[in-house]
């Protein structure tokens, strides 16, 4: 399809209606808008409005070489198909990709103004990353954060007005709700045995119900270099204790829990962080010694309550220095 020459320059202010008249598209149809009259795809970012749907990653990298843009989809893990497809396929289809950011409203009306950021191409090497975010119901899920590379240099004043992204290439952890609406986290999606997962979930629910006055969350750990994410079980914000739950109090399960907690605590930046294993029953004496020597605590169900054994870090230090 023929395309009119694109006349906008970075920093220019327009409305969506202006774009529709000159280049096609839609006045109200979402944040990713392929034009039906030109070879263009328009993406719109509005951080103030997007935060309620977990769109918290939009903005430039610290050096201004990448513009991070969150994909479409308000509930559950965002998908590569549907509304996100125009970004993924724009180069293959010969479409130019143009980004805009919210810039207030037209005086005396509710019509939003859009600041033109510039033309971009999708990073061919790392086109997107999956990042943890909340959906509109408050449940944890993953969103697609596209990596858009400027076709030409974006003026510094425009970069400053648009702002910077919180996306980093370093491992990082964020606190998230216990409720999850995702299949994209390694520690949940790749677990074997649905029955064991259900038993662990029931154990966690019972434990939380017994800890009156305590607030529980999780930690979502993003590992950009491996393009994967980890999700812990529960974290007690009052006691600063991270729990890994297991459905069976056997040796293989406890050894796995020890490894998971050691991995998690490398990335969870909490002063005086304590780690404990949550079990449905008291483990054997030798397994209790294993946890104690590893500097980990223990919580287990006993009849109608739970017994908590805090980590014995002094014992671990004595063993390490022998």
Does pLDDT of 321 surpass 50?
no
Question: Domain range for residue 78?
Answer: 13-167
Mean pLDDT of 180-203: 72
Report if residue 4 sits inside a domain.
no
pLDDT recorded at residue 193: 55
pLDDT in tens, 239-276: 999 999 999 999 999 999 999 999 999 999 999 999 99
Asked if 230 and 148 sit in the same domain, the reply is: no
Could you tell me the CATH number of the domain that includes residue 253? 3.40.1350
Does pLDDT of 293 surpass 80?
yes
In a 3-state reduction of DSSP, which class is residue 307?
Answer: strand
Asked if 194 and 312 sit in the same domain, the reply is: yes
pLDDT in tens, 18-64: 998 888 777 666 899 998 888 999 999 998 777 766 678 999 999 99
Largest CA distance in the chain: 78
Asked if 45 and 151 sit in the same domain, the reply is: yes
Question: Predicted confidence band at 134 (pLDDT cuts at 50, 70, 90)?
Answer: confident
Question: Predicted confidence band at 186 (pLDDT cuts at 50, 70, 90)?
Answer: low
pLDDT recorded at residue 45: 94
Mean pLDDT of 309-320: 62
How many domains would you assign to the chain? 2
Asked if 217 and 101 sit in the same domain, the reply is: no
pTM for the full model? 0.78
**Alpha-helix runs per DSSP H in the chain:** 16-23, 47-50, 85-89, 156-162, 186-189, 194-210, 251-265, 285-293, 313-320
Question: Predicted confidence band at 320 (pLDDT cuts at 50, 70, 90)?
Answer: very low
């Amino acid at each position: 399809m023929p395309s009119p020459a694109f006349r906008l320059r970075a920093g220019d202010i327009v409305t969506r209606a202006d774009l529709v008249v000159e280049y096609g598209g839609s006045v109200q149809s979402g944040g990713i808008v392929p034009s039906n009259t030109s070879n263009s795809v328009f993406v719109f970012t509005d951080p103030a409005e997007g935060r309620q749907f977990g769109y918290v990653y939009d903005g430039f990298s610290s050096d201004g070489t990448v513009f991070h843009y969150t994909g479409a989809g308000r509930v559950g893990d965002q998908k590569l198909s549907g509304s996100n497809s125009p970004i993924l396929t724009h180069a293959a289809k010969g479409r130019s990709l143009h980004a805009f950011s919210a810039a207030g409203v037209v005086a005396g009306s509710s019509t939003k103004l859009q600041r033109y950021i510039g033309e971009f191409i999708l990073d061919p090497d790392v086109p997107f990353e999956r990042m943890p975010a909340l959906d509109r119901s408050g449940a944890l899920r993953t969103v697609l954060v596209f990596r858009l590379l400027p076709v030409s240099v974006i003026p510094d004043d425009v970069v400053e007005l648009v702002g910077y992204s919180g996306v980093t290439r370093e491992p990082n952890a964020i606190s998230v709700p216990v409720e999850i609406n995702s299949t994209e986290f390694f520690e949940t999606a790749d677990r074997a045995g649905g029955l064991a997962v259900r038993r662990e979930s029931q154990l966690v629910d019972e434990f939380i119900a017994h800890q009156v006055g305590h607030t529980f969350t999780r930690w979502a750990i993003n590992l950009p270099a491996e393009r994967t994410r980890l999700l812990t079980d529960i974290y007690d914000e009052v006691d600063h204790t991270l729990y890994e739950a297991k459905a069976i109090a056997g040796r293989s399960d406890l050894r796995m829990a020890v490894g998971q907690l050691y991995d998690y605590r490398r990335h969870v930046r909490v002063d005086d962080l304590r780690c404990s294993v949550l079990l449905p029953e008291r483990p054997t004496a030798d397994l209790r010694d294993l946890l104690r020597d590893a500097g980990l605590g223990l919580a287990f169900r006993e009849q109608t309550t739970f017994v908590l054994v805090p980590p014995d870090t002094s014992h671990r230090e004595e063993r390490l220095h022998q």
